[in-house]
Structure 1
Amino acid sequence: MRRKTKLCVILLAVMMLCSGCAEEKKPPKLSEVGFYLDTVITLTAYTEDKQVLKDALEECGRYEKMLSRTIEGSDVWRINHAKGEPVEVSDDTMNILRCAQEISGKSGGAFDVTIAPVSTMWNFTKEPHELPDAEAIAKAAELVDYTRMKLEGNQVTLPEGMMIDLGGIAKGYIADRVKAYLKERGVKYAILSFGGNIVAIGNTKPDGTSWRVGIQDIDKQTGEYMLISLNKGGSTVTSGTYERGFDLDGVRYHHLLSAETGWPVQNELASVTIFSESSMEGDALSTTAFVLGTEKGLELIESLEGIEAVFIAKDRTVTYSSGAGDYMVQ
């Protein structure tokens, strides 16, 4: 009996050793592409579930119907057409607006979702390119003031004539929610691209290699990178003058507008990249830091816990926040 017992133990040990040697089966890499909020969205995940990414894109569509300024009946549309009356909105919309107000307060209004009276006057795709009427812009800028938007419970009250536009923060929120949705559906590794917003699930890819995110070269075509960063399971967001805009008479007119003047911000910067856990915060802060400029923008970023930034100037000078180097491929 003792010999038989020893033989069984040896056989069991060999079986366990062999099973340990067998390479763990990796799930296939799947992708789905959609177009929401004027942005191409690409969801890539390592999963056996072929339906999960399709369902995630449907979630994008659901959020667009809630947050779009132009879709009739959306929360934002109803706020903008309420003529000063309070509007009951979803928890999602209220979460976004409260975050926006917080960042507006910390930045002295450099970020302001009530920018819509001004932003709607700019058309960056129309040709031939032309500038809005300066007097009309000045008048519209008088209606931009985040302090006049009242948030109570789930009610939003905006003075008549004012409007909101969540284009500088909604994509980040949707990216966060889609990430949470995929994790709930069992996805452990994914990279989600919402235009300038990149969100990862998992600190690394399934094979242990890092997620790498390129930072656009400000002087070259889309897809040519000036820097390479690491995404460690959080969010990477870049805002730059090259994204949407046109050149006229030697001046670059882009979508990053001053809430004070209504005109594209003209400072030393070409782009700002934010590393954060929340893509909603990263989305808003990339715009905010750009508007503030390198010095004041860096001061704001350093005051925020868990947020790092890379500032790229028009002359290609690169400035890092104190912890941003940890996210860069050297």
Structure 2
Amino acid sequence: MSVRFTLVQLRYFVTVARLEHMTAAAAELNVTQSTLSSAIAQLEAELGVPLFVRLPRRGLRLTPAGHTLLARSDALLEEAELISRSVHEADPVLTGDLVVGIYAPLAPFRAPALLQQFERLHPGVNLVFLEGDQGTLQQALLDGRCEVALMYDLGVGEQFARRVIETIPPHIIVSERHPIAVSGRHEVSLSEFADEPLILLNLPHTREYYLGLFKLLGITPRLRHVSLGYETVRSFVALGHGYSVLNHWVDHGMTYAGEHVVPIRLSESLPPTEASLVRLKNLRPTQKSLAFESVCLGMVGDTAAASSS
């Protein structure tokens, strides 16, 4: 089937999809609302499917077909822009917006440094991070709200492609006043904590991963507190309310509570988590997202090598 939609129609569609409101999109594009409505209607007619559901007093929502088109539009529009600019520039620089999903517990450790390095190398690109849990990020990828996500491998569906950038083993954290921390030991067995209260990071998929570690060793942990916040867990531990099992290693130990935790390696060979760059399968990536991938692989790989040495 031959389709004859225009790049202008596609740009209009992407703007409407992002703002979910025809009037707001018309204002941003500096066109009349009737012009915009006509362009969207023509695009829907050419494709033979509705792209939006019109909700009275609530704006627009993408249909499944609209989500599919949005996910594939960025690469096409970027390529068209690069082709146009290559006529005048030998090596056209990347420009435009790039939304990258990032798993919330990873964001404080990775996002600021990645942003700094990416902006240094690609100042023409507006990089924005979308934080969320594993399920939220997968839905954002499906909806086209982000093109790539830096996240753990936990619960990632088969419709996604992953590129592993870091393997992160689990470890224990205890209060600096805990007898094991005071003793200066650098390695412990998880079974040593079977009778102590556990502070559990209770994010979707993450909870199952941590509890699964205990199950592998035949241990039933004594749950004391659960929390959705990574720093909340560390603060509970710092004040002596229990211990926790985490993956991302933090050397400094300072918590929001003003007290310190001590990370200690586990002697058991337990399954690690994998930090991965995740995309939809069979989706052509934009040059902007490939540039982010390159920065991410370099920075995270260097950091992982340094922390393991």
Question: TM-score range, shorter-chain basis?
Answer: under 0.3
Structure possessing the higher relative contact order (Cα contacts under 8 Å, 6 or more residues apart): 2
TM-score (normalised: structure 2): 0.22
Which has more helix, going by share of residues?
2
Give the TM-score normalised by structure 1. Answer: 0.21
